Structure 1
Amino acid sequence: MSKCRKTQVQQLASAASFSPDILADIFELFAKNFSYGKPLNNEWQLPDPSEIFTCDHTEFNAFLDLKNSLNEVKNLLSDKKLDEWHEHTA
């Protein structure tokens, strides 16, 4: 097994390459703050499902397609010997 590791190339996107709407969405997503306080009776309780699941289930086709694609690749690898595989991928 080779001890040489490939150097990782990091590709950073410039903020200028995104529209102001996208940048505002990103800022809003990462600006979320949540605070939790221990209940008075010192016993944590999950909220009622009717309070937290207020929207219908939504499937995202792009993620489902990605999942199927990754599973197809995984299935191609399932009959390989793991030790031999690591010799070629390390």
Structure 2
Amino acid sequence: MSKCRKTPVQQLASPTSFSPDILADIFELFAKNFSYSKPLNNEWQLPDPSEIFICDHTEFNAFLDLKNSLNEVKNLLSDKKLDEWHEHTA
């Protein structure tokens, strides 16, 4: 049995299958534009690396335990069918 994954098939929806209200909502969500101007006083300037990397690496066991616990839960979900899973989480 091949262990290669199949390439997912993209199913494109026709714009005519949506109501004008839905199309307007979609357009509004994806038409957002943001622009930023850098302040003149260099307020966004990163600190010198010699000032911020002054401590040795520290591992926090509580965070490592939490990471392992979350990965165990994630591994329990990896064999679930996505469409069925969304029925319970949506």
TM bracket (short chain): 0.3 to 0.5
- TM normalised by structure 2 equals 0.48
- Which segments of structure 1 move beyond 6 Å, counting only runs of 4 or more? 1-39
Deviation string for 1:12-48 (max 9, x for gaps)? 9999999999999999999999999987565843111
Instruction: Output the CA distance in 2 between the equivalents of 1:20 and 1:59.
Output: 53
SS at match of 2:29: helix
Query: Highest CA radius of gyration, 1 or 2?
Result: 2
| Alignment RMSD (CA, Å) | 13.7
Instruction: Output the CA distance in 1 between the equivalents of 2:58 and 2:25.
Output: 20
SS at match of 2:27: helix
- TM normalised by structure 1 equals 0.48
Instruction: Output the CA distance in 2 between the equivalents of 1:23 and 1:59.
Output: 49
Instruction: Output the CA distance in 2 between the equivalents of 1:81 and 1:7.
Output: 16
Q: Which runs of 5+ in 1 are unaligned?
A: none
Q: Give the 3 Å change call, closer, same or farther, for CA 31–82 of structure 1 in structure 2.
A: closer
Q: Percent identity?
A: 94
Instruction: Output the CA distance in 2 between the equivalents of 1:18 and 1:60.
Output: 50
Q: CA deviation at 1:66?
A: 0.7
Q: Which has the higher contact order (CA 8 A, sep 6+)?
A: 1
Aligned residues: 90
Q: Give the 3 Å change call, closer, same or farther, for CA 79–35 of structure 1 in structure 2.
A: closer
